[in-house]
Chains A and B, each alone.
Chain A
Amino acid sequence: MIQLTNVTYSYPRAETPALHDLSLQIPAGQFCAVIGANGAGKSTLCATLAGFVPHFYRGKLSGTAKVAGIDIAGSSLAELAGTVGLVFSNPFNQITGARFTVREEVAFGLENMGVPPAEMAPRIDEMLRFARLSEQADQSPYALSGGQQQRLAIASVLVMRPKVLVLDEPTSQLDPIGSREVFSVLRDLAATDEATVFLAEQKLEWVAAFADRVLVLHQGRLVADGPPAEILASPTLSQYGLEPTRYTQAARAALGAGFRPQHPDLPVTLEQAVEFFR
Chain B
Amino acid sequence: MSSTPFSLYIPRDSGMHRLHPLTKLALVGFALILGLFLPGDWLTYLAFVLVILPLAAWAGILPRFLPAVLKTALPIVVSLFLVQGLFWPGGTPIFHLGPLSLKQEGVTFAIRSAGRFIMVISSFLLLTFTTRPDGLMLALSRHGVPNSIAYVMLATLQIVPRFQAKANTILDAQRSRGLETEGNLFIRLRALFPLIQPLLLGSIVDIEERAIALEVRAFGRAGPKTSLLMLHDTPAQRVVRWLLLLASLAIIGWRVYLGLAA
Contact = CB atoms under 8 A, between A and B. Distances in A.
Given A77-B220, A93-B209, A140-B1, A98 B225 contact: no
A235 to B, nearest CB: 37
A111 B225 contact: yes
Contact of B212 (A86, A99, A111, A115): A86
Contact of A78 (B158, B221, B227): B221
A186 interface: no
B259 interface: no
B172 interface: no
A98 B155 contact: yes
A112 B221 contact: yes
B230 interface: yes
A114 B224 contact: yes
B210 A114 contact: no
Contact of A94 (B213, B219, B224): B213
A26 interface: no
Interface in A107-129: 107-117, 120-121, 124
A56 B212 CA distance: 8
B211 to A, nearest CB: 8
A111 B142 CA distance: 13
B227 to A, nearest CB: 5
A78 B7 CA distance: 30
Interface in A178-208: none
A170 interface: no
Contacts of B201: none
A120 B225 CA distance: 12
Contacts of A85: 216
Contacts of B218: 78, 81-82, 109, 112-113, 160
A197 B229 CA distance: 31
Given A81-B217, A111-B225, A111-B226, A52 B151 contact: no
Interface residues of B, number: 38
Contacts of B215: 52, 56, 77-78, 81
B1 A120 contact: no
Nearest to B223: A114
B26 to A, nearest CB: 23
A117 B222 contact: no
Contacts of B229: 104
Interface in B1-37: 1-7
A211 interface: no
Interface string A79-109: 0011001101010011111111001100111
Contacts of B180: none
B217 A104 contact: no
B217 A160 contact: yes
A148 B6 CA distance: 19
B208 to A, nearest CB: 8
B210 A97 contact: yes
Given A96-B155, A97-B159, A97-B210, A120 B226 contact: yes
Contacts of A103: 228
Contacts of A62: none
Interface string B115-140: 00000000000000000101001000
A50 B216 CA distance: 8
B220 A157 contact: no
Contacts of B182: none
A100 B228 contact: no
Contacts of B158: 97, 142
Given A104-B228, A112-B221, A113-B221, A97 B155 contact: yes
B206 interface: yes
6 contacts: A81-B216, A97-B6, A98-B155, A100-B4, A121-B228, A139-B3
Given A81-B220, A140-B5, A142-B5, 6 more contacts: A52-B212, A81-B215, A96-B151, A109-B218, A143-B2, A160-B218
